[in-house]
């Protein structure tokens, strides 16, 4: 007798069942996938908010080490992910590119101030610096395809800059995202830095967009109608809505999830 695998949500560093007990069966009904609820989303936001100061306060080098550890763990489970992605050269290429993405952003953690910051010329006996700071709690709507690389290329720059993440797994293809959570769980990320929720997007998106404790939302996996709805919900709490569609790695994708802080300092002090 075949026993269906039952996946779980990844919230606050733990694998948990949906509080509602609901599940659905994508991919022909071979596995059970938890159908996250509004309560699960609130728990994830609370965990992320609690984890944010500690993660943002770590040294850039340490954040890079943790991201590099995630790349190591993902590469160590290459055979599992290649099979999950359908096997063959295309799946192997997607896995390799996902590992490369994590390594690439790990190398950027200590270079952000030099690339995105600046010293501004001002009149008077002052230095004027612009330096990047993390936005805070970022919601990510994972694209349907590519199943693994699509999420990795959006979550890595968020974490690189010192933000924390709540990712909504692709509704029809959630298994790569939920399995990626197992990689993050063994990659030295503190509890709450990464949270991954599966379920129906129409049920979860409105609450993610309107939640007062979410600072930004990446709409890369959304339709035009969903983006419009998100913008309307986010207007009430001045939430940043990221609509970048670039899929290539870029330091400016990191900057999209950063705030630019300007500091004045007297010369000679």
Decide: 261 and 131 in contact? Cβ < 8 Å: yes
Domain count, the chain: 1
Separation of alpha carbons 116 and 127, rounded Å: 17
Comparison of pLDDT for 29 and 214, the residue scoring more? 214
Tell whether 3 is covered by a domain: no
Q: Which CATH number goes with the domain that contains 120?
A: 3.40.605.10
Tell whether 112 is covered by a domain: yes
Question: What average pLDDT does this structure show over 161-183?
Answer: 94
Comparison of pLDDT for 250 and 142, the residue scoring more? 142
The parent domain of residue 182 ranges over: 9-14+35-266
Least confident of 3-7, 42-46, 59-63, 187-191: 3-7
Tell whether 19 is covered by a domain: no
What is the C-alpha radius of gyration for the chain, rounded to an integer number of angstroms?
19
Cα separation values, 35 from 29, 154, 232, Å:
14, 22, 25
Which residue reads 């609820």 in tokens?
37
Tell whether 27 is covered by a domain: no
Tell whether 20 is covered by a domain: no
Tell whether 163 is covered by a domain: yes
Comparison of pLDDT for 37 and 252, the residue scoring more? 37
Separation of alpha carbons 149 and 91, rounded Å: 10
Identify the CA nearest to 43 among candidates 75, 6, 16: 16
244: phi > 0 → left, psi -120 to 50 → alpha, else beta; which?
Answer: beta
pLDDT of residue 29: 72
Tell whether 116 is covered by a domain: yes
Instruction: Name the band, by pLDDT with cuts 50, 70 and 90, for residue 269.
Output: low
Tell whether 196 is covered by a domain: yes
Q: Where are the alpha helices (DSSP H) in 130-174?
A: 149-160
Separation of alpha carbons 98 and 53, rounded Å: 27
pLDDT one-digit tens code per residue, 197-248: 999 998 999 999 999 999 999 999 898 999 999 999 888 888 889 888 766 7
């Amino acid at each position: 007798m075949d026993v269906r695998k039952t996946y779980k949500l990844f919230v606050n560093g733990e694998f948990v069942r949906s509080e509602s007990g609901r599940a659905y069966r994508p991919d022909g009904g071979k596995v059970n996938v938890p159908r996250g609820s509004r309560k699960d989303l609130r728990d994830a936001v609370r965990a992320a908010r609690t984890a944010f100061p500690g993660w943002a306060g770590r040294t850039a080098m340490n954040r890079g080490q943790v991201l590099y550890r995630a790349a190591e763990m993902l590469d160590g489970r290459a055979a599992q992910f290649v099979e999950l992605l359908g096997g063959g050269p295309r799946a192997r290429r997607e896995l390799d590119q996902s590992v490369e993405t994590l390594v690439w952003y790990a190398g950027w953690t200590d270079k952000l101030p030099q690339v995105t910051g600046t010293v501004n010329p001002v009149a008077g006996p002052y230095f004027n610096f612009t330096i990047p700071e993390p936005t805070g709690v970022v919601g990510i709507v994972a694209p349907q395809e590519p199943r693994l690389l699509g999420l990795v290329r959006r979550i890595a720059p968020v974490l690189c800059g010192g933000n924390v993440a709540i990712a909504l797994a692709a509704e029809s293809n959630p298994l790569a995202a939920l399995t990626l959570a197992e990689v993050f769980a063994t990659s030295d990320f503190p509890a709450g830095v990464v949270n991954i929720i599966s379920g129906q997007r129409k049920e979860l998106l409105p609450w993610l967009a309107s939640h007062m404790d979410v600072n930004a939302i990446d709409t890369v996996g959304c339709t035009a109608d969903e983006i419009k709805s998100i913008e309307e919900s986010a207007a009430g709490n001045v939430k940043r809505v990221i609509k970048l569609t670039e899929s290539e790695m870029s330091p400016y994708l990191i900057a999209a999830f950063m705030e630019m802080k300007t500091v004045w300092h007297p010369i000679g002090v």
